[in-house]
């Protein structure tokens, strides 16, 4: 995963995609986010479960433990290692969902510059990505140490031609189970290792190279360059 995504819908669209009956504690606002080209360190709407409530906060994309001051904060965590390595040990139990509209990858097609591709669900529904992080809760407000990482796995199927890593995305019922604090950690590990959504649920197409500039925003960035009417 190359580190660029879109989160342009509003929080209630993402809540509807989760199909979660829990009441919402909303610190993310009610307006559409309109983030068509979000890069690492962007504040994004992140879901986690607090008691019987679903909570949404704006949290920075990227996290590192306090002792890892000699490296840039990672934005992703490899599913093969995340549950057992020391780097993410403190936040592995702190499960979250980052709901997005799509993500981008860059492909070397032999030209002078790599070609960006957009990946989205075929049904256009929000994508529910498994994440872990440090985020506000009822006992602790926002902190400069807050952040989250998206769990990634090897790509499969045709998506491998776009990039060798992809987010672990979960169907709504599994996303709710992932968020539930009562779900054992061993079960959570098996979910992200074995039950992520298949490549067949997604479609991808090339988009304008303007997405390469993080300052560019707007719906034109998510249109197929071969069919600007879509």
Contact 11, 56 (CB under 8 A): yes
The mean pLDDT of 45-71, rounded to a whole number, is: 94
DSSP 104-166: EEEE--SSSSPEEEEEEETT-PPEEEEEEEE---SS----TT-EEEEEEEE--GGGGGT-SEE
Contact 135, 96 (CB under 8 A): yes
DSSP 193-223: HH-SPPGGGEEEEEB-GGGGSTT--SGGGGS
Q: Give catalytic residue positions.
A: 2, 105
pLDDT tens, 140-194? 888 889 999 999 988 765 555 565 688 999 999 999 999 999 999 999 999 999 9
Write down all domains in the chain, each with its CATH number in brackets. 5-222 (3.90.1680.10)
How large a percentage of the chain has pLDDT more than 90?
76
Q: How confident is the model at residue 228 (pLDDT cuts 50, 70, 90)?
A: very low
- Tell me how far apart the alpha carbons of residues 133 and 146 are, in angstroms, rounded to a whole number: 7
pLDDT of residue 156: 67
Q: For the chain, how far is it from start to end, CA to CA, in angstroms?
A: 24
pLDDT tens, 93-150? 999 999 999 999 998 888 888 899 999 999 999 999 999 999 998 888 888 899 999 9
DSSP 51-74: TTEEEEEEEEB----TT-TTSPPP
């Amino acid at each position: 995963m190359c580190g660029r995504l879109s989160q342009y819908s509003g929080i209630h669209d993402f809540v509807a995609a989760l199909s979660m009956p829990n009441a919402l504690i909303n610190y993310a606002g009610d307006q559409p986010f309109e983030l068509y080209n979000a890069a690492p360190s962007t504040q994004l709407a992140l879901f986690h479960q607090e008691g019987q409530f679903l909570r949404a906060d704006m949290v920075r994309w990227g996290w590192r433990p306090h002792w890892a001051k000699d490296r840039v904060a990672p934005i992703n965590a490899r599913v093969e290692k995340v549950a057992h390595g020391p780097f993410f040990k403190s936040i592995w139990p702190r499960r979250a969902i980052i709901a997005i509209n799509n993500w981008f990858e860059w492909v070397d097609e032999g030209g002078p510059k790599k070609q960006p591709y957009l990946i989205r669900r075929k049904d256009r529904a929000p994508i529910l990505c498994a994440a872990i992080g440090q985020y506000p809760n009822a006992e602790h407000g926002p902190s400069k140490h807050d952040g989250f990482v998206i769990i990634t796995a090897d790509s499969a199927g045709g998506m491998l031609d776009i990039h060798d890593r992809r987010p672990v995305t979960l169907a709504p019922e599994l996303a709710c189970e992932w968020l539930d604090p009562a779900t054992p950690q061993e079960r959570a590990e098996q979910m992200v290792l074995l039950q992520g959504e298949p490549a067949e649920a997604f479609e991808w197409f090339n988009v304008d190279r303007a997405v390469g500039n993080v300052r560019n925003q707007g719906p034109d960035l998510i249109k197929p360059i071969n069919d600007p009417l879509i």
